[in-house]
Structure 1
Amino acid sequence: MKKLRPEELTQKENYKLLIGSVIPRPIALVTTQSDSGLLNIAPFSFFNIVSSNPPILSIAVQRVNGEPKDTARNILQNKEAVVHIVDTDNVEDANQTAALLGPDESEMDRTEFETVNSVEVSVPGLKQSKVRFEAVLKEYVVIKNGDQPVSDLLLLEIKYYHFDEAIYDNGYIIKDELGAVSRLAGNDYAEIGKTFTIERPQ
């Protein structure tokens, strides 16, 4: 076994080892709005479920030079977001939203996405998504390295579900119809491939 101490590695070295090992990672495509109403779209693979009662998602947004990114800043200011699942049909446009743009630019201009009105939040969703969760900020944690803020951990409580009827079956999600895409390392993504079943012990 290769043995390494995280504190003896650079941030980039730790990052590369983590994203190469913790795979596959689901991708949240998040829409938020600035105070001026500008729509922001960004993908995050430091993302998962935290709780089902209440339904809560976690998204960690890495900071740039200690400053929050647009998504985190918008959520902290306005307490709302819409989280979409990236799938094989929308992954190309989702990838375009990863571009580093200024706070006065919208990622919409780089994509074919269309917006749809939400029910419980003021932030619009994206039509080209089979799953979207309208959510509000539940809790917020600043992750620090010493005294330096490095990441914003956002816990978002789902207030409204939207599921394409093609993937919804009497309370269950049809994974093959969803076609979710996951993040690997570098420029690599993965589709759901071979699956298998193991019964849980009683």
Structure 2
Amino acid sequence: MEIAISDIAFQEKYKLLIGCIVPRPIAWVTSLGEDGVINAAPFSYFNVASIEPMMVSIAIMRKPEGVMKDTARNILTIGQFVVNMVDVHNVDDMNQTSANYPPDVSEVEALGLDLQPSALVKVPRLAASRIHFECKLHQIVELGTPTTSDLILGEVVHVHVADELYEDGKIDAKAFSPVSRLAGHSYATLGELFDHPRPVYTPDAENK
């Protein structure tokens, strides 16, 4: 199958990308509006952007009319947000926050989600998550002409990790039990884990 991108429509591009680029980690983002409304929403176009400085990236698609989603607008206005990581214990709550709530309605209040204060940002974190990245906005990159997506680059200024997940400076993946996004309505857990040590190049290898 050969697919010419210029020949396919938006929905086909969407299905191709989300079906091929899997699994995707989920950023369950809390943000704060100018009116004090606490927003919570999940985004699966999310990943590591940099180690030093420690940064994450989240791409937030705009609404069909080109209007920023609540999370992107809040981050642009307040300059802070929290990424609450998703696992098998909170995936149901996370999914509930994906509904299209009006800007003046807090998903946190509507669903009765518990909050905890953050250490360095004024945006609270979700108690249901066991890993939190407190972030300050580094940059927003507008993608498309006209803009169809806002790429958020956030600098991580503080991290919270539950004690049972952290050992010898590493996250215990099995204890964490993260949940990732697939296509459609599908999600995935870790499944089978296996190791492949990175090979070391040696000049002798060229002669074999």
Taking structure 2 as the reference length, the TM-score comes to 0.94
Structure 1 residue 110 displacement after superposition: 4.2
Structure 1 residue 170 displacement after superposition: 2.5
**Equivalence for 1:4:** 3
1:184 equivalenced with 2:182 (yes/no): yes
Q: Aligned with 2:59: secondary structure?
A: strand
Aligned-partner Cα distance in 2 for 1:199–1:118: 37
Q: Aligned with 2:98: secondary structure?
A: coil
**Equivalence for 2:57:** 58
Alignment-mate amino acid for residue 89 of structure 1: H
Aligned-partner Cα distance in 2 for 1:110–1:167: 29
1:25 equivalenced with 2:59 (yes/no): no
Q: Aligned with 1:72: secondary structure?
A: helix
Percent of paired sites with the same residue: 42
**Equivalence for 1:131:** 131
Aligned-partner Cα distance in 2 for 1:34–1:194: 41
User: Which structure: larger Rg?
Assistant: 2
Alpha-carbon contact 1:93-1:112 (below 8 Å) kept: no
Q: 1:170 aligns with which of 149, 168, 171?
A: 168
Post-superposition Cα deviations, 1:69-113, rounded to whole Å, max 9, x if no partner, equal 000000000100000111000000000000001110111134342
Greater strand fraction, Structure 1 or Structure 2: 1
Alignment-mate amino acid for residue 16 of structure 2: L
Aligned ranges for residues 122-161 of structure 1 at < 5 Å? 122-144=122-144, 147-161=145-159
Q: Aligned with 1:98: secondary structure?
A: coil
Aligned-partner Cα distance in 1 for 2:81–2:111: 19
Q: Aligned with 1:109: secondary structure?
A: helix
Q: Aligned with 1:148: secondary structure?
A: coil
Aligned-partner Cα distance in 2 for 1:108–1:30: 11
Structure 1 residue 201 displacement after superposition: 1.0
Count of aligned positions: 199
Aligned-partner Cα distance in 2 for 1:179–1:14: 30
Aligned-partner Cα distance in 2 for 1:6–1:106: 38
Q: Aligned with 2:154: secondary structure?
A: strand
Q: Aligned with 1:48: secondary structure?
A: strand
Decide which moves more: 41-50 or 101-110: 101-110
Alignment-mate amino acid for residue 165 of structure 2: I
1:115 equivalenced with 2:115 (yes/no): yes
Alpha-carbon contact 1:31-1:39 (below 8 Å) kept: yes
Taking structure 1 as the reference length, the TM-score comes to 0.96
Aligned-partner Cα distance in 2 for 1:92–1:176: 19
Q: Aligned with 2:149: secondary structure?
A: strand
Aligned-partner Cα distance in 2 for 1:112–1:49: 30
Alpha-carbon contact 1:141-1:153 (below 8 Å) kept: yes
Structure 1 residue 140 displacement after superposition: 1.2
Q: Mark the runs of 5 or more structure 1 residues left unpaired by the alignment.
A: none
